[in-house]
Amino acid sequence: MLLQRNKLGSVRPPKRCRSDMDNISTSDIVIINGNSHPDLANMVAERMGLKNGGCSVFHKSNRETIVEISDSVRGKDIYIIQTGTKDANNNIMELLIMAYACKTSSARSIVGVIPYLPYSKQCKMRKRGCIVSKLLAKMMCTSGLTHIITMDLHQKEIQGFFDIPVDNLRASPFLLQYIQESIPDYRNSVIVARNPGVAKKANSYAERLRLGLAVIHGEQKEAESDEVDGRYSPPPTRNSTPQHAPISSSNRQRTTSVSVGVPEHICKVKPPLTIVGDVNGRIAIMVDDLIDDVQAFVAAAEMLKENGACKIYVLATHGLLSSDAPRLLDESPIDEIVVTNTIPHEIQKLQCHKIKTIDISILIAEAIRRIHNKESMSYLFRNVTLED
């Protein structure tokens, strides 16, 4: 070690740079995890200078979930790292049981660290279904969770389903940095929204990078909302019209009557896929929050290639990559798929060499540190706009 001398000539050690994690109290914080993403939990614990708490989660022969916590959690702050994967139902049950076990063991606070929230796409009423995200939020609050840390929710309004604080972290700084440092000649790029629903997110990326924007409009197949359903059955027609109270002559002039009963909704006519914007000779960068079924991404990439895009990148926060997604991506004209490690996808990376991973464990560790030390979270949301 290099030693320095002060003005009096005595030897003193060099100043050590204070780490962001130096001032965290390790006596009253416990990090535990389920089976969804142990690698991410270990990386977060290592960045914070902590050891992973002794929690064992396993399944009996009848598939019931058993949770055993070996360390004492009484009066401590518990952080449960559990993300959503293809086995979403087991991931949820493990989280709920771990939270309830900590609650009944007199933990002071229980924070659920859920980088990818399962069922987040089911946040709207569709046909005769239900809003599953609301149900999941109620279950989490009832289980004993006192705080939620998640990342890039499918819809920001999901935070309103919870009766506890929710911190929705952003992965966009990591993805923006990747574009600037790892995509050659990124100034010749154009940010692409694969459908109008992603246009706000794509516009946010384009404004931050000072790049152009293109939007793919249209559908390849019939939308789910247009499928034939029993609710489209017409109302019964009657030969005789019901008797109404007499209408005055002045009101009659401003009243329009419908002689054919309840009018029908005009059918949606979805145009074929078209691109609004110029991608000829440019690098096309598609951005989204989740990559799961990749048929839409592949179809969009094929259209971009036909319109002259020289390279095609896909960037997303969550890489679920279900079913045969790796094979379809490997055979597609997409040059590179970049996702974060909110969801484990090591097997998919072995099947498709185009998949790259960005580590976001440092962001989760910093969020845990700030919450534990009761510091402001605003630094992690600086320059965030409504479109993000």
Q: In this predicted model, what pLDDT tens digit does every residue of 174-228 receive, in sequence order?
A: 999 999 999 999 999 999 999 999 999 999 999 999 999 999 988 765 445 544 5
Selected residue with higher pLDDT from 225 and 256:
256
Please give the mean pLDDT across all residues of the chain: 87
Mean pLDDT of 159-172: 96
> pLDDT, tens digit, for every residue of 321-334?
988 999 999 999 99
% the chain with pLDDT above 90: 71
Mean pLDDT of 54-80: 93
Please, which pLDDT band fits residue 27 given cuts at 50, 70 and 90? Answer: confident
What's residue 262's pLDDT? 76
CA separation for the pair 258, 276 (Å, rounded): 39
**Sign of the Cα pseudo-torsion (319, 323, 325, 330, in order):** positive
Report whether pLDDT(37) > 50.
yes
Q: What is the CATH number of domain 26-169?
A: 3.40.50.2020
CA separation for the pair 33, 113 (Å, rounded): 9
What's residue 317's pLDDT? 97
Assess contact for 301 and 276: CB atoms under 8 A.
no
E strand segments, 225-367 = 274-276, 283-291, 311-319, 336-340, 355-358
Please, which pLDDT band fits residue 385 given cuts at 50, 70 and 90? Answer: low
Please, which pLDDT band fits residue 18 given cuts at 50, 70 and 90? Answer: very low
Mean pLDDT of 335-345: 97
What's residue 21's pLDDT? 54
Instruction: Return the CATH fold of 173-220+272-358.
Output: Rossmann fold (3.40.50)
Please, which pLDDT band fits residue 12 given cuts at 50, 70 and 90? Answer: very low
Lowest-pLDDT choice from 6-15, 220-229, 295-304: 6-15
Report whether pLDDT(259) > 90.
no
Selected residue with higher pLDDT from 253 and 70:
70
Report whether pLDDT(139) > 70.
yes
Mean pLDDT of 153-167: 95
From-to residues of CATH 3.40.50.2020 in the chain: 26-169, 173-220+272-358
Selected residue with higher pLDDT from 17 and 34:
34
Q: Is the pTM of this model over 0.85?
A: no
Residues, the chain: 388
- Helix or strand holding residue 30 (H, E): strand 29-33
Q: Nearest CA to 314 among 336, 290, 292?
A: 336
**DSSP label at 292?**
S
Residue with tokens 């998949």, as numbered in its chain:
355
